[in-house]
Amino acid sequence: MDKLQSVINRIRPLDQEAMRRAQARQDNLTKPKGSLGLLEELSVKVAGIQGVAQPRIRDKVIITMAGDHGVAAEGVSLFPQEVTVQMVYNFLRGGAAINVLARHVGARVVVVDLGVATDLEPHPELLVKKVAYGTKNMAQGPAMSREEAIQSIEAGIEIVESELSRGMDIVGTGDMGIGNTTSSSAIVAALTGAPVADVTGRGTGIDDERLAHKVRTIERALAVNRPDPADPLDVLAKVGGLEIGAIAGVVLGAAAHRRPVVIDGFISGAGALVAAGLAPQVKDYLIAAHLSVELGHRLVLERLGLTPLLNLSLRLGEGTGAALGISLVEAAVKVLDEMTTFADAGVSEAVE
């Protein structure tokens, strides 16, 4: 808890002077003012985050957190629980979507076991931060203890700190865990007060019948546990997931160390919502990669005050959307850094 509190205390507002200078430079580049839209805004935001007028992004990292969910026993997913561990091995072999997309954008993928239900074989690229062998079934009682929830967040902070030492100018969040849209919907319903049916989607692609069952299961979990909406740690502990707590930790840790955080889809959004509940200032450090088709993601982005960069009907997770988002942020920063000014190019300015 000391680590968590000290990281929260360390989060500062964006650097307004760096942002002012970045905006002034944008306005002198050889293009009509504002004509690169969100790319211009992104570059100014990253200037404020990094605290420099001409930011650069070299080391790009996607952290993919894996954890199992006791609620999977309720039959809320199309896939059996064993898929969590199978997909972790797939990540380590480089054959999953996140590997392909991270390679495409030049990011490294850090795979972390926060709470997979079985022990994993050691692998040089697997980070083990196991808090428990999966959460308990939230439909019957709390998913985890408050202490475990804090441990999962602190694990995320520790990962940020160790990745910073390897070089990390921007970080994207990712997740893997059968049952974790169920947990995320419960978190979002608890923290926002929205009806469960309004924030519960089809996850891996369930049909109407199973969706109705998923909604009822989440309603039961909320009724059994009565999480306190004003206490994000209570919500995370009672209906959350270990990988979701770790995502919240990445958000907090990256904000404390002034690095932009590119949020993937719905599960990452739920983690960011927990982080924003603990430290509202983190919102300034967040960039929403995309609008997921998972019902409820739009509400999460609204609550975080974020405009998604992409709308590609993605619903995979793993950090796949974040990878594409990171590339757009990098593009935005390069525009600010590498374009020529009107004066340097000898191009006439607008007659206004």
Q: Residues interacting with its own copies, by CB under 8 A?
A: 29-39, 78-80, 82-83, 86-87, 89-90, 93, 95-97, 99-101, 103-105, 203-205, 293, 309-316, 320, 324, 327-328, 330-331, 334-335, 338-340, 344-352
Closest distance of CB 32 from its own copies, Å = 4
Dist. CA 137–CA 200, nearest whole Å: 18
Helix (H) or strand (E) holding 171: strand 170-176
**Given the complex with its own copies, which of 104 and 166 has the nearer CB atom?**
104
Closest distance of CB 327 from its own copies, Å = 6
* Residue 244, C-beta contacts closer than 8 angstroms, at least 6 positions apart: 65, 67, 152, 175, 180, 183, 184, 187, 236, 267, 270, 271, 274
Closest distance of CB 97 from its own copies, Å = 5
Annotated catalytic residue within 294, 318, 349, 352: 318
Closest distance of CB 293 from its own copies, Å = 7
Dist. CA 84–CA 177, nearest whole Å: 5
* Catalytic residue check, 318: yes
Lookup: tokens for 99: 């590997």
Dist. CA 85–CA 280, nearest whole Å: 34
**Given the complex with its own copies, which of 2 and 352 has the nearer CB atom?**
352
Under DSSP, the state recorded for 268 is: H
Dist. CA 270–CA 182, nearest whole Å: 11
**Given the complex with its own copies, which of 119 and 344 has the nearer CB atom?**
344
Dist. CA 62–CA 81, nearest whole Å: 23
Closest distance of CB 223 from its own copies, Å = 28
β-strand pairing of 126-128 with 108-115: parallel
Catalytic residues: 318
